Structure 1
Amino acid sequence: AILVGARGPELIETARGEITALLRDRHRIAMGQKADFEVVTSEQLSQLFGTITGMMTALLASIAGISLLVGGVGIMNIMLVSVTERTREIGIRMAMGARGRDILVQFLIESVVLSCFGGVIGLAMGIGASVGITKLINTISPGADWPVVVSIPAGIVAMVFAACVGLVFGLYPAWRASCLDPIDALRYE
């Protein structure tokens, strides 16, 4: 790689043309033949970096979305099992005067708490991975002094997403629990 600087932004294309002509001459490449080199400007490198960054962002967003979906389905299944195992308890509560709304709120709260607990574990694992990778890079690369950066706003957003996943995926099990007939629920074995 050869780095060349132009005297001003308006001279970049002129310099690029002169460098290309000089290299073609030195490499003995005739006009019309494919060059065995490429002259790239900092603007092109910046565009390439932006494209790569955009692709990585889309990839990570896709992975995060799939992870949220899988986690949400897991929470819904756990809550459905909980409703099934606690059918008699739900029947007793309803027979004692609890309304469907009370049961619904109870199971929604349980779902959100379960999801937030998973969010806390995920945050802890993410911070741990960040610290580990940073230490590894600082050890492998002499002179590298990457700091560990923990974003509080990102952690808050993650916890809000965790709560929303618990709320959304807990709706169906909570609704099922709230619609149980108390008499049938008391008979359930």
Structure 2
Amino acid sequence: MSRRHFRGKTVLEATFLLPLVLPPTVVGFILLVLLGKKSWIGYWMESLFNHSIIFTWGAAVIASVVVAFPLVYQTMSTGFSLVNKDLEDAGRSIGASEWQVLRYITLPLAWRSLMASYILGFARGLGEFGATLMIAGNIPHKTQTLPTAIYIAVESGNQSLAWCWAAAIILISFGLLFIVNQRTRRTANNNE
């Protein structure tokens, strides 16, 4: 997508990035409608898995992936666009297929951006609350996530438990962002 130009690309990219600007509860509501029993996707998934995906850990994963996807997409797109096109063209000129160019030239040159995108996506998915609550609920030991556990702890007046969960998510998120920043800084220093 970073190098291809086609009719409707702007609309497609706006669709990919939409979960970044929509409230997570709106994303969750749309997922609930799309994956619920009354939709053809929900009906198909229910016949495939013999039960509804709604209010399962799979629904929590789907919500996290959908909400984190725009961040991953944007970071990956930027990483791929920074790969020197002349190097890819040189590979093609000596007979490399598109798959070989991707495998031996593009991916090795973009790997830091790819790694950063996955780490940022994971960190964003880890903190997802609204969409997850809409389609996975908050079923203890089944679909409860760290953000919903914090919410329940605060709601029940258990501040110490809320602080423990909050500290855990802060430490994990800080560590992930630290790794991304270190990798980005190394990439910038290597390119100078």
TM category, shorter = 0.3 to 0.5
TM-score (ref. length: structure 2): 0.33
TM-score (ref. length: structure 1): 0.34
Larger Rg: 1
State the structure with bigger RCO (CA 8 A, min sep 6), 1 or 2.
1
